[in-house]
Amino acid sequence: MRRPIDSLFGRLALLVVAVLMLSHFAWYALMRLERSQLQTRYAVEEATFLVDAVRQHVARTPDQPLPSRVKLVDPASPDVPAASANMPPPLERFVEDVRDRMPADTQVRVGPPGGPPMLWVRAATDQNWIVVPVQPLRMPRSLDRTVLWLAIIFSFAVMAALFAAWALQRPLRLLAQAVARFGRGLPVPPVPERGPRELRQLTHGFNQMVQEVARTENDRAVMLAGVAHDLKTPLARLRLRAEMMDDAKTRDGVVRDVDSMTHIVEQFLLFAHDGADRSEPVEVDAQCERVVRSYRAVTSDAPTVYTELNAGPSFLLPAATLDRILSNLIDNAHAYGAPPVVVATARTPEGFTLSISDNGKGIAAQDLISASRPFVRLDPARGGNGHSGLGLAIVERLVRRAGGEWEIGNHGGRGLRVLMSFPFEVLPRVATASENAW
């Protein structure tokens, strides 16, 4: 199961959201703290200004009345509040800040709770307590309008950051898809060179590598196809002359050798062919049954071939590709394996499988990797007549070109098995390619 967090976009998105959330939370906490401190400083400035104004008023115009909420209280009055030792931290900081702004030995108290907030101040030179109103010190609310704006800003920031992350990882995703296609032997169009400088350089190098590999592969295929094509005419003349020989034993030997050489040439041509298969898709189960039936009828000394076809009519492959796969693998099982040979298909949760297995000795574990390499023959005894070491290489190329994967190995110690897997998503592409060809 694919996890979104494993992708580059998923990790970038998680990182971006985490960083934005942390930065917005820190900004919100700092803003709340700064607002609280600003409110306290404003209240202190206002209170000290009012106290100084009352002192100047008393000193200059004692006969003039004071504002309604400002008053002078005799120290002996019972209304004077007692010094409180247990005040809330914000109020305690407020009182300390006011005391710091006043002359030394100034008494600063706050009015009793429950009434309008009042500040009581008396310096050593004051005859009475000066009582002035103060701004109420409200604690910042846990949820206010700032939270709404913060959520809106955070949402837009996340969307913009996710778009930037998507734009950054998109060229890398295209490059990863191209690398996967190149690894499976499929045609790879040039990847657009986008993104940061390092990614553009990487994409440019990949495009150059693909072009060089394609040019080398094309030159090799052209040379191989040319040599094989040029050999077909001399082989045909050689076979015609062999048929005219009088000595039957010599004639049969020469004809047999010519047929072996002709088969090798045909394998060369098939391996060199690099075009897309435009043949009509057919049901794999039905075609396997037809191929096995014709194989039994034509090859009298062939080993017993069984079928276990359980994929159903939805499993489609191009007819030419399927015929070449089956013929190469059944011939390979006939030449190197032992009966019975089993052709099986199945449907899995991921797609369809096609397998051909025999009951021979199989292939040594250390030789499985090189078994499908072109022109590799694992030992001289497995060569026989008319074999060039291209059979498994051709099958691998055909399977990958059809969008599938293959696996070669020994099954249960009873012989060699070639297992080919075709995901569901490659089947519509096969049908579409066929329709476009018409």
Residue 197, phi then psi, degrees to nearest 5: -60, -45
Q: How confident is the model at residue 301 (pLDDT cuts 50, 70, 90)?
A: low
pLDDT reported for residue 422: 92
Query: How high is the pLDDT of residue 118?
Result: 85
pLDDT of residue 303: 59
Cβ atoms of residues 344 and 355 within 8 Å: yes
Indicate the residue type of 281. Answer: P
The token duo for 387 is 């074999």
Q: Over the stretch 38-57, which tens digit does the pLDDT of each residue have? A: 777 888 888 888 888 888 88
- Check residue 354 and give its pLDDT: 94
C-alpha 337 chain-centroid distance: 42
Instruction: Give me the torsion for CA of 424, 357, 309, 1, rounded to 10°.
Output: -30
* pLDDT tens by residue, 325-334: 888 888 888 8
Q: Could you tell me the sign of the dihedral formed by the alpha carbons of 179, 420, 294, 300, in that order?
A: positive
**Residue 33 pLDDT > 50:** yes
Instruction: Supply the pLDDT for residue 409.
Output: 85
Tens-place pLDDT, residues 177-199: 888 878 766 778 888 888 778 88
SS3 392: helix
Split at pLDDT 50, 70, 90, the class of 428 is very low
Taking 50 as the threshold, does the pLDDT of residue 380 lie above it?
no
Query: Higher confidence at residue 6 or residue 400?
Result: 400
**Averaged pLDDT of the chain:** 77
Q: Do domains 4-133 and 277-437 have the same CATH topology?
A: no
For residue 332, give the 3-state DSSP assignment: helix
Query: For residue 364, what is the DSSP state?
Result: -
73 by DSSP, 3-state: which? strand
Residue 165 carries which side chain, given as an amino acid letter?
Answer: A
Whole-number Cα distances in Å, 146 to 28, 138, 142, 157, 357: 8, 16, 10, 16, 71
Residue 237 phi/psi, 5-degree rounding, is -65, -40
pLDDT computed for residue 283 by the predictor: 92
Burial of 6 (C-beta count, 10 Å sphere; 0-12/13-18/19+) = exposed
Residue at token pair 């690099």: 274
Q: What is the mean pLDDT of residues 157-178?
A: 81
- What pLDDT, on the 0 to 100 scale, is given for residue 80? 84
The reported pLDDT for the residue numbered 137 is 57
Q: Which residues pair with 423 in a beta bridge?
A: 351
Of 24 and 65, which is predicted with more confidence? 65
Residue ranges per structural domain of the chain: 4-133, 277-437
Q: Report pLDDT digits (tens) over 103-162.
A: 888 888 888 776 678 888 888 888 888 888 887 655 555 556 667 777 788 788 888 877
Per-residue pLDDT band for 6 (boundaries 50, 70, 90) equals: low
4-133 carries CATH number 3.30.450 = yes
Kindly state the percentage of the chain with pLDDT values over 90: 8
Average pLDDT over residues 219-225: 66
pLDDT recorded at residue 309 = 93
- The band of 346, judged by pLDDT with boundaries at 50, 70 and 90, is very high
Return the DSSP state at 384.
Answer: -
Residue 258, token pair as written in the block: 């010519």
Does residue 263 have a pLDDT over 80? no
Given pLDDT bands bounded at 50, 70 and 90, which one contains residue 437? very low
Residue 433's Cβ-count burial label (10 Å; 0-12, 13-18, 19+) is: middle
> Which runs of consecutive H residues, i.e. helices, occur in 346-390?
none
Q: Tell me, which fold does domain 277-437 have in CATH?
A: Heat Shock Protein 90 (3.30.565)
* Mean pLDDT of the 61-67 span: 82
> Predicted confidence band at 435 (pLDDT cuts at 50, 70, 90)?
very low
Of residues 175 and 389, more confidence is placed in 175
Confidence of residue 221 (pLDDT cuts 50, 70, 90): low
- pLDDT at residue 226 tops 80: no
